[in-house]
Structure 1
């Protein structure tokens, strides 16, 4: 019996592709939504997103992800009033084979070898964490709109981009998202 079932809660079904390695090179379309779809990051005015200071912070932290994770490149993205869309590319990691030598006494406790490649989940956890910390700081010091409980919904949505046609369609969707805001499934009037 799953942990959630013991508490009388329904067991959550994974939304990830079973058996897929989310640390491998490739393009990923990411969507993250605010908890309860509350609009915290700005407004759409005449088909253009106008970010408030919180939205600018969320955008800045997205743009800073390649500084934290050296094996990624960012493509199209858009911060919307209550959600975020972006395309993230994990680039191939070149492994270097280390010589088979013992560890010197003064190296014990020091990093050895290559750190494992981070997954999309690791990256999104880091992104959600830093944006939440910064948002809380903004609520406390800059009078940003408070949120109830959590800034972001529990998980994130991803789609593995497998070909150029899919990439083009998703890129256009991201670019045009502000123009289509009134018809967006995340729109809350």
Structure 2
């Protein structure tokens, strides 16, 4: 019996090193709630994530990634109990590329996949355990409206946690 064929996650023939903004979601291994818990929600206390020790590692590593990738900028992120969402901007392409290249152009630079791979590897190494599921979700941000919609989604994500399919009210899992 053969294993099912995995669907490719990336847009074929797109250069993920192209100058522009990208929305990335990476889920925890088995979607376990290892990065923290959502707290707050009162009138004067908006819902927010209180990070676990593993969540603190993810935050610290995400914020340090520009040391390894100086042409990238994290513009917005949220660490949820079982995943991380962020907007990353490639500020300089391999040859001053435009923001809107043809998806059929093929270039060797794959900055975003390398960035995600490094982030996963470094957080796993620091935590001493495998934190992440295989793969990740990416979305190429196409215009200002798309960017603003994703920014708002990231902002509102902690408040929507009680409606998440992985939410449980009997306490959060921590490593």
| TM-score interval, smaller chain | 0.7 to 0.9
Q: Comparing both chains, which one has the higher relative contact order based on Cα–Cα distances under 8 Å and sequence gaps of 6 or more?
A: 2
Equivalent residue, structure 2, for 1:176: 156
Unaligned runs of 5+ in 2: 41-46, 97-107, 169-175
Q: Aligned ranges for residues 86-97 of structure 1 at < 5 Å? A: 86-93=86-93
1:157 to 2:137 alignment: yes
1:124 to 2:116 alignment: yes
User: How far 1:117 sits from its partner (Å)?
Assistant: 4.4
Deviations 1:131-165 (A, max 9, x none): 001111xxxxxxxxxx6xx3211001000000000
Q: Return closer, same or farther for 1:133/1:94 CA change in 2, 3 Å cut-off.
A: closer
| Aligned alpha-carbon RMSD (Å) | 1.8
Give TM-score scaled by structure 2 length: 0.80
Equivalent residue, structure 1, for 2:31: 37
Equivalent residue, structure 1, for 2:59: 59
Q: Return closer, same or farther for 1:10/1:182 CA change in 2, 3 Å cut-off.
A: same
Deviations 1:85-122 (A, max 9, x none): 000000124759xxxxxxxxxxxxxxxxxxx7452111
Other structure's SS at 2:60 match: helix
Equivalent residue, structure 2, for 1:99: none
User: For 1:132 and 1:18, how far apart are their aligned partners in 2?
Assistant: 28
User: How far 1:18 sits from its partner (Å)?
Assistant: 1.4
